[in-house]
Amino acid sequence: MRFLPREHLDMTQALLEHGIDPSTVLFVKRRGRLHVELPGRADTFAFFREKSTTLDANGRWSDRVEYSVGTEKTKPVDWSEVLGRFKRWLSAHPMRP
């Protein structure tokens, strides 16, 4: 999975809003998921994007993008939900000095 520019921009902005310098954060691809690792924290935030194309009832191609949060495939969500969960993760788990 590639880290899309819009995803990177949104996550970087969320980090800045929480007082975290984005240059200290590691974005690591592991087993097809993108993991966000913060210095001083043992846990990571992980998400996965899946893109699919199907034929609709009118015989037209329809593109769909769905996200899962965590290391298991979960109920699909949209990007705004992933970003919201990321912000809650940042707030709920303050970094250790």
For residue 41, what pLDDT is reported?
86
For residue 94, what pLDDT is reported?
61
Q: What is the pLDDT of residues 11-35, one digit of tens each?
A: 999 999 999 999 999 999 998 899 9
Q: Which residues of the chain have pLDDT under 50?
A: none
The DSSP bridge pattern shows strands 44-55 and 26-30 to be unpaired
For residue 12, what pLDDT is reported?
96
For residue 1, what pLDDT is reported?
72
For residue 69, what pLDDT is reported?
93
pTM: 0.83
